[in-house]
Structure formats: structure tokens, C-alpha cells
Amino acid sequence: MDFEFIGLILLFSIIAIALFMEVYKKKFRKNQANDREIYFVASLVSLVATASCYFGIPLPGKIWSLFIYFFFVYTAQFFVDMKVVKSIVKWYAKKKGVTLEGYDFNE
């Protein structure tokens, strides 16, 4: 298995986790979740996704590399959620003229 395929799988996992976290914060918890809860859920989902990828596809490395993959996925999904997903949602909402609860367009 080549690294390009592994990177693609991890990229899709990161995007899926970032989208899930945004839905979790806005739809399930309705902006009532505190920071610790968000970090806990994000790390739990990242750990489950990383373990699934690690054991589901033959990722290179020993078992300690699971923690490196987890740290990479958690950090990357956090960045994707904060920078990419929110930017796309804000842009789309402005384009459609929709006012979103919980979003400040000046952030």
C-alpha cells in the first residue's frame, strides 16, 4: 500500500471528523457544549477513526505509530474544522443571505 492512498484515507477521515464536530457543536449540543467537552469528543472520535484506519488498513509502522497518527489526525481535524469548514459555512450563508445562530461573521 502506497503512502498516497494512506494519505487520502487519512484526509477523508480528517474532513469527516471536522464536519462531524461542527454538526455536533451546532446541531446536537446547540452551542451549549463547553471547551472540555468539545476537546474530549474530538479526541475520542479522532482516536476511534485513527484506530479503525490503523487496524483496518495496513498502515506502516509499529504500534507506537498509532499515537503519531492520532496526534496528526486530531491536530489536522481541529485546523480543518476551525479554518476550512467554518469559512465555507460562513461564505455559503452570506451568499444565500441566511443568518446563522452561533456564527459571528466578524470572527
- CA 35/CA 103 separation, integer angstroms: 16
- CA 51/CA 84 separation, integer angstroms: 24
- Answer yes or no: is 48 within a domain: yes
What is the DSSP code string of 23-92?
A: HIIIIISTT---HHHHHHHHHHHHHHHHHHHHHHTT-SS-TTHHHHHHHHHHHHHHHIIIIIIHHHHHHH
- Answer yes or no: is 102 within a domain: no
Give the pLDDT score at 18: 86
Mean pLDDT of the chain: 80
**Cβ atoms 1, 57 nearer than 8 A:** yes
pLDDT band at 105 (very low <50, low <70, confident <90, very high): low
Give the pLDDT score at 44: 93
For residue 1, the 8-state DSSP code is -
pLDDT band at 94 (very low <50, low <70, confident <90, very high): confident
> Is pLDDT at 104 greater than 70 in this prediction?
no
Q: Cell numbers at residue 68, please?
A: 503519531
Q: Cell numbers at residue 52, please?
A: 479503525
- Answer yes or no: is 104 within a domain: no
- Answer yes or no: is 69 within a domain: yes
Domain extent at residue 83: 3-96
Number of domains within the chain: 1
- Answer yes or no: is 55 within a domain: yes
Encode pLDDT of 6-46 as tens digits. Answer: 788 888 888 888 888 888 887 888 778 888 988 899 899 99
In terms of residues, how long is the chain?
A: 107
Phi and psi at residue 60, to the nearest 5°: -70, 145
